[in-house]
Structure 1
Amino acid sequence: MLDTAAISLDSIFTFGIDMFVFLLGLAVLIFVHELGHFLIARKCGVVVEKFSLGFGPKLAGFKQGGTEYLIAAIPLGGYVKMKGEDPGEELADTTGSFSHANVYHRLAIAFGGPLFNILFAILIYVIVYMNGVPALGTTVGMVRDDSPALAAGLETGDRIVEVNGETIRFWDQLLEIVHDAPGQPMQFVIEKNGKRLVEKNITPVSEEITNLWGEKENVGLIGITPLVRRIANIEEGSPADQAGLLKGDLLLEVDNTPIRGWQDLKTAAMDKPGEELNVTVRRDDGLTYDLKLTPKPEKIKDETGKDVTIGVLGLGLSGEMEVEQYGLFGSMWRSVEETWKLTHLIAVSVKKMIFGSVSAENIGGPIMIFQFYGQQAEQGFNQVIRLTALLSINLGLINLFPIPILDGGHILFFLIEIIKGKPVSERSRERAAQVGLFMILGLMVFAFYNDIMRIMN
């Protein structure tokens, strides 16, 4: 039996906020998508009979300009109902009918939803970059033994400010430049002790790494990692919380091991489950504090599927951050760049899932999206709208899949019509729609299964 007394008011309040943010984000994405279909349909002279947010029973609505605008009970979708949208529908007057519209107009209407999702993501990123977003800076953490960086004299705490005459502010910039230049001598400008600038000639060596999709590739590396040691968050009731660690603390040492990043923390603490450890932190008041921390033993499966015991700390770390901020035109350019990068990343990930090189276990459904919204809501508005932008790109791309009942399926039929010079037969479309519905339902069931298994594990 559920013990309702064990459910705190704070938990109920947090769940309510997370649910509100989730439903609001979902409603906005659906509205933007359907708005794309709606506006382009109106522009093409097609009559829109209904504009609905959600499915199922009508909760509220009104009628204006020949269109009924309504909110339905189930908020996991939405639709635009156009006159003559059903090819089998008998019309006394075909004026403004979708099925009797020019094929290029129908193609534009089908493409409108995904297009507006992409444009919406660009708009969000314009706002984000005008407002400013934290990005990992170029302060050096660990310098690997026998690396080009060590040979050049780089040390923990140095900041890379320029490479080959190009100003460098963010770690991603640095990675991109170095990765693309194995074996090529490069001139680095390094800031030491926060003021003194020195020039260093460093040649990246070619090394094999594992990319986002678990594939091996050769890139240029100089043997450094970013300085990551500021505590970004503490889980309530965790070993870190019980030890008295606070958000914002600089984690200096664990059992006399200097902390420069996650690898140091793993060696010094996570690999020592159940052991009492001495932790030294520096706080905003400039003072250092010595605390006792005991990592909680927890069994997990390693990369080979073998059970291993690690020490759970219950904290998150962040690096030395810089604010990435631009004016209007700079934000527009950066937002297009970011949207394109994420679009390409999602498209490649989906392709690799289809061909089996990336596990389909990564597919998530509404439960995972709800969890993501809850996590980002704790980090602030900026993080919530960035997640909304990412999901908007996802929604746009998924709807372009050539699956009947999705926009991509309609687009495919219209392209075939353009090539053949006549519409695809109604019978063929009905059969394809049945197959498409089966595929979508199967994908939804699989996504829910993955969500539930993630919770159980």
Structure 2
Amino acid sequence: MELLHQAFGLLTGTIIPFLVVLTLIVFVHEMGHYLAGRWSGIGITAFSVGFGPEIAGFTDRRGTRWKLSAIPLGGYVKFLGDEDAASTPDYEKFNRLPEAERARTFLGAALWKRAVTVAAGPIANFILAIAIFSVAFALYGRPVADPVVAEVRESSAAATAGIQPGDLLVAIDGEPVRTFEDVRRYVSVRPETPIVVTIRRHGVEQDLRMVPQKTELTDQFGNRMEVGVIGIVTTEATGNFRVVHYGPLEALEQGALQSWYVVSGTFDYLANVVTGRMKADQIGGPIRVAQVSGQMASIGVAALLQLAAVLSVSIGLLNLMPVPVLDGGHLMFYAIEAVRGKPIGPRTQEIAFRIGMALILMLTVFATWNDTFGRLG
């Protein structure tokens, strides 16, 4: 009975939230490709959420097979003339088609139409993230605190630089900060990197130089991560804790801004990994996403949706990497085609796709290793 109870808890607390989040992100991504392809006049033979054998589906009047497949770790749109789900062109089949039919294939479409269709997937992910953040801010508001220091940790970077309780932080490296979260977000991705903090004390501004210390933090679920900290704390009284509510346009602006923070934070983290300031153990795969989805679901629907927004941005960025097989790899080929005036040869593309697939498999293995033996509690 105990084993059954644990299995039920795993299903409802982790697997179902994970599948809901992933299915939403995949569906929107592939819908971006689908709508752009339809708009461009390209024939579409299949729209699948998931890979592998079909579980359920139907064929619409245009001949597109809409299906739910067995392996729920992605999806694809298969265009007319594609050899497989990765949009590898079938040149032999293409050459056998009548001229009028070739124009409806992905390979036979104009270069700009192919580029728009490919780019539409990641763009749809960014739009989804902005929409989720915007709705969350409009419905629930946003908790904020003023960047006023209530306490300075002993032996911290802030203490060494001379920050004192009551100081108001107004800028970091010349960028204005309006909330305590702005400070945390900027500092957390800059461990061991010199920064200049502008404070206001008794109406007078001054610049203080410091180096955020790399510190390992553990969240409420036991997940461990390395971040930069300067050692300042605010309190409800000092920081004037409050919830700010936004109108529709303001919420949209904040949603776009929050999505940009995810993008910039991702690049900052990768730069830190390359320079050795941070470890690569925060790169996770499906196991980690499933566990975090369950954790966010335990907090509430709003937290789970905001996780979906963050993951949507991340998947959009991943797909824009210039790696063959991914959307970014296709766009790279189209850029080369635009410069050369003709597409890359089939043999070269085949070799590039194999290299790209190998890179993706290596990344998957690495992420799964982090999921299994990494720092997630």
Percent of aligned pairs sharing the same letter: 30
Question: When you count strand as a share of all residues, which structure comes out higher?
Answer: 1
The answer to whether the aligner puts 1:127 opposite 2:135 as a matched pair is yes
Matched, 1:210 2:207: no
Q: Structure 2 length normalisation: TM-score?
A: 0.79
Question: Is 1:186 matched up with 2:189?
Answer: no
TM-score, with normalisation over the residues of structure 1? 0.66
For the aligned residue pairs, the C-alpha RMSD in angstroms reads 3.5
Measure, in 2, the Cα distance between the counterparts of 1:438 and 1:132: 43
The CA deviation at 1:342 is 1.1
What's the offset of the Cα at 1:345? 1.3
1:50 aligns with 2:46: yes
User: How far off its partner does 1:444 sit?
Assistant: 0.9
- What is the SS of the residue equivalent to 2:114? helix
1:381 aligned partner: 301
What runs of 5+ residues in structure 2 fail to find an aligned partner? 83-88, 172-176, 188-193, 216-224
Does the 8 A contact of 2:319 with 2:327 survive in 1?
A: yes
Residue number in structure 1 paired with 2:71? 74
**1:149 and 2:164 correspond:** yes
Q: 2:250 aligns with which of 320, 330, 333?
A: 330
Q: Please, which of 147, 170, 176 is the counterpart of residue 179 of structure 2? A: 170
C-alpha distance 201-348 of structure 1, shift in aligned 2 (>3 A): closer
Contact kept, 8 Å, 2:284 with 2:368, in 1: the verdict is: yes
In terms of Rg, which structure is larger? 1
Q: Which amino acid aligns with 2:51?
A: F
- The structure whose RCO (Cα within 8 Å, separation 6+) is larger is 2
Range with bigger deviation, 137-146 or 378-387? 137-146
For residues 52-109 of structure 1, give each alpha carbon's deviation from its aligned partner in whole angstroms, at most 9, with x where no partner exists.
1111111111111221111111111111010123241232321311101101111111
- Match for 2:340 among 414, 417, 420? 420
Take 1:109 and 1:447, find their aligned partners in 2: how far apart are those partners? 29
Q: Where do residues 4-403 of structure 1 align in structure 2 (5 Å cutoff)?
A: 6-7=2-3, 9=5, 12-13=8-9, 15-64=11-60, 65-85=62-82, 86-88=89-91, 89-90=93-94, 91-92=97-98, 93-138=101-146, 141-143=150-152, 147-150=162-165, 154=166, 170-173=179-182, 182=197, 186=200, 201=204, 203=206, 205-210=208-213, 224-227=232-235, 321-354=241-274, 356-403=276-323
| C-alpha distance in structure 2 between counterparts of 1:68 and 1:393, whole Å | 28
- Compared with structure 1, are the counterparts of its residues 357 and 429 closer, same or farther at alpha carbon in structure 2 (3 Å cutoff)? farther
Q: Which has the higher helix share?
A: 2
Query: More displaced, 400-409 or 344-353?
Result: 344-353
2:102 partner SS: coil
Q: Size of the alignment, in residue pairs?
A: 339
Given that 1:87 and 1:426 are in contact with CA atoms closer than 8 Å, whether structure 2 keeps it comes out as: no
Q: Name the SS for the 1:79 alignment partner.
A: strand
- Give the C-alpha shift of residue 173 in structure 1: 4.6
Give the equivalent residue in structure 1 for 2:220: none
Structure 2 distance, partners of 1:77, 1:379, is: 26
AA matched with 1:170: T
Distance in 2 between residues matched to 1:8 and 1:83, nearest whole Å: 46
2:14 alignment partner, SS class? helix
Give the direction of change, closer, same or farther, for the CA distance of 1:185–1:355 in structure 2 (3 Å limit): closer
2:222 match: none
